[in-house]
Amino acid sequence: MKLTAEMLEFIKKDALERFLRYVKINTTSNEESGTNPSSKNQFELTNLLKDELRSLGVDVVVDEFCYLYATLPASDGVKAPPISFIAHIDTSPAVSGENVKPVIHRNYNGGEIRFPDDPGLVLSPKDSPELLEFIGQDIITASGTTLLGADDKAGIAAIMTMAAVFKKFSQLKHPEIRICFTPDEEIGAGTAKIDISKLGKIGYTFDGGMIGEIENECFDAMGAKIKFTGLNVHPGYAKNKMINAAGIAARFYAMLPEYETPERTEVREGFFHLLKISGDESEAVLQFIIRDFEHARNEKRAELLNSLKDFFEKKYPGLKIDVEIKEQYRNFKEVLDKTPEVTDFAIKAIEMAGIKPIRRAIRGGTDGARLSFMGIPTPNVFAGGLLFHSKKEWIPVVAFEKAVEVGINICSLWAEK
């Protein structure tokens, strides 16, 4: 069924109001906490969403790990399998998410955008050429001291508005919808405690970037922690005695290929990314993420780290290096290629919303990658934000309006199947 003017006006107003409300709540995750969820403040948004869904008459539960599960029964006569719509609660710890103040820049003119709380910070088409596609549109940023949180509160707003639309306009047909909002996606733990029995047979994450993006391929991902244990000796008497763990860690990193780093790679090129370096003469630690689109190439990167361990331990007798490498997620293309209809329906839904689909491989990860390997094929659909994880993060207002339309269209296509 084609969306009416009344429906579109409701979507426009509801999605914007929700987004502006949600981004003001600090949901930064914390990979150092060792808890689930990693930060208790994520419950503030999750509990608000629970209350809002209950006010719509939707069955909803929030568990002890901060996962929200909600169910909208299928429309009368619809026999399609249940579908999950998924977005994540947390925002990246890379930039503060505390006291976010969203700013709407009306009728963008194609030039520079300034930030009220940091006049020296500038967003322009040089940073993000996509801005030029939204001349005349309203653009939202934060005020200059925080990220915005469109990753992934734009996705949450889209899914919540979609639920509100189905409740208000019952003539729109849909299968059973199972909503799931997850904590800690930004630190790689979005599905760590998920209950897949509460999800549908197929899923869609709303966690992508530019309007029109549909992603069914992502990085193969590993994490590496390399610990150097040396020997400290008074520097005045250290010749042939000291084993400087921090200095050797720096040399170790310098041995890695410079052109396999995030700042030197794009499209389908993989990398080593040094997240953190810490320590002193006695002990030092390097923490990496390792990314590529082919698992075999990532395994070669792991082999290189272990080869360097052997080399440095031989070069510096008495030095001890511990290399810990863990798989984080796999490229979900190998799963989604076996269920092409799931992605095909998303592409058609984007076209139905009057948007040209953009097929991209995610230079990152998504809860959908892990869910796909857990038996729930889950491609990733745009939420509309750009320059995620930065103070320059931005989103055009039209983006989450279109994301709602795409979600409704996906449901329509499955309902008619």
Catalytic residue numbers, as ranges = 90, 185
Are 417 and 80 within 8 A, CB to CB? yes
Name the token pair of 305.
């780290």
Q: Which distant-in-sequence residues (6+ apart) come within 8 Å of 6 by Cβ? A: none
Sign of CA dihedral 344, 346, 352, 353: negative
What is the SS3 assignment for 160? helix
Q: Can you spell out the DSSP letters for 312-348? A: HHHHSTT-EEEEEEEEEE--THHHHTT-HHHHHHHHH
Pairing of the two strands 320-329 and 283-292: unpaired
Q: How far apart are CA 381 and CA 350, in angstroms?
A: 9
Are 222 and 328 within 8 A, CB to CB? yes
Q: Which distant-in-sequence residues (6+ apart) come within 8 Å of 231 by Cβ? A: 241, 242, 243, 281, 282, 318
What is the SS3 assignment for 225? strand
Measured at the alpha carbon of residue 228, what is the angle toward residues 225 and 233, in degrees to the nearest 5?
A: 155
Q: How far apart are CA 140 and CA 385, in angstroms?
A: 9
Q: How far apart are CA 94 and CA 100, in angstroms?
A: 14
